[in-house]
Amino acid sequence: MLEELREANSYITSKIKETDSVILEMEKFAQEQNVPIVTKEVAEYLKFMVKMNKSKNILEIGTAIGYSGTIMAKAVEEYGGHLTTIEIDEERFNQAKENFAKAKVDNVTLILGDGLEEIKKLQGEFDFIFIDAAKGKYKEFFEDSYKLLSKDGIIFIDNIMFRGYLYKEYPKRFKTIVRKLNEFIDYLYENYPGFTLLPFGDGIGLLQGKK
Ligand SMILES: C[S@@+](CC[C@H](N)C(=O)[O-])C[C@H]1O[C@@H](n2cnc3c(N)ncnc32)[C@H](O)[C@@H]1O
């Protein structure tokens, strides 16, 4: 979470009263087992965006245990929306499978594999693409999934400002990833006029519409 907004984000989070037992269970599990999932306010925003966009065909790269996936799938199920989500880690893939079943969402296609390879096998267009996997590969995920974006579709990239390390002092071990994310943001601003950066959660990158 970006340092300056931490208090505001905590306040917003305190106002969100989740009642869904499966979602609450996933939040507890993620906290106890250190599984990185979207923050509550980002989850709220994702839900808002897919509903506003009336997303019919969502692609997620980075399922983890299926937390954001369940939230998006539930948000669009009333009008026949569908989620395709890709996870590279087999243990998380299995946890996600179990969680989707517990949450009774059946509008989900869960794929086990490397997003970079699996995206290339996908058919059709997606009107909402959520990128939330290995940050060092964000540009590749973006390039490949952009090819599948519908004309007015949205790409939503989480953690793009990487805990604020892009503009403040960061631990040396993050040097490469910080450089890559900075270059990626410059690349997006230079080449994609619809791109915008939002300073909440860990930083959200948004792109609407295809060139
Ligand atoms: C931040 S977590 C995703 C959280 C999830 N979107 C949520 O909010 O509930 C990132 C996930 O991406 C997965 N991942 C990393 N590299 C990947 C790749 N190349 N292809 C697919 N998944 C990948 C990790 O195993 C991890 O579970």
Residue 145 Cβ inside 6 Å of ligand 1? The answer reads no
- pLDDT value, residue 145: 96
Predicted pLDDT at 113: 98
The residue with tokens 């540009």 is 139
Which two structure tokens, joined as six digits, stand for 139? 């540009």
CA 193 / ligand 1 centre spacing (Å) = 27
Instruction: Give me the pLDDT at residue 2, please.
Output: 61
Helix ranges, 40-137 (H): 40-52, 67-77, 90-102, 115-121
Residues annotated as binding site for Mg(2+)? Answer: 132, 158-159
3-208: CATH topology: Rossmann fold (3.40.50)
pLDDT at 124: 95
Which residue's CA lies nearest to atom 1 of ligand 1? 36
Q: Among candidates 67, 77, 58, 44, which has minimal Cα distance to 145?
A: 58
Say what the pLDDT of residue 178 is: 94
Beta strand pairing status for 195-198 and 108-112? unpaired
Atom of ligand 1 nearest to the CA of 141: 19
CA 49 / ligand 1 centre spacing (Å): 20
The residue whose C-alpha atom lies closest to atom 13 belonging to ligand 1 is 62
Bridge partners, 205 (sequence order): 157, 197
Our answer on whether the CB atom of 203 is closer than 6 Å to any ligand 1 atom is: no
Residue 152's pLDDT is 95
Residue in 26, 46, 63, 93 to alter for ligand 1 test, most ligand atoms within 8 A of Cβ: 63
Residue 12 phi, psi dihedral angles, 5° rounding: -60, -45
Pairing mode of beta strands 57-61, 126-131? parallel
Residue identified by tokens 């805990």 is 163
State the distance from the centre of ligand 1 to the C-alpha of 66, rounded, in angstroms: 10
How far is the C-alpha of 22 from the C-alpha of 66, rounded, in Å?
Answer: 11
pLDDT tens for the 211 residues of the chain, in order: 566 677 887 888 888 888 999 999 999 999 999 999 999 989 999 999 999 999 999 999 999 999 999 999 999 999 999 999 999 999 999 999 999 999 999 999 999 999 999 999 999 999 999 999 999 999 999 999 999 999 999 999 999 998 888 888 999 999 999 999 999 999 999 999 989 999 888 899 999 999 8
Confidence (pLDDT) at 208: 95
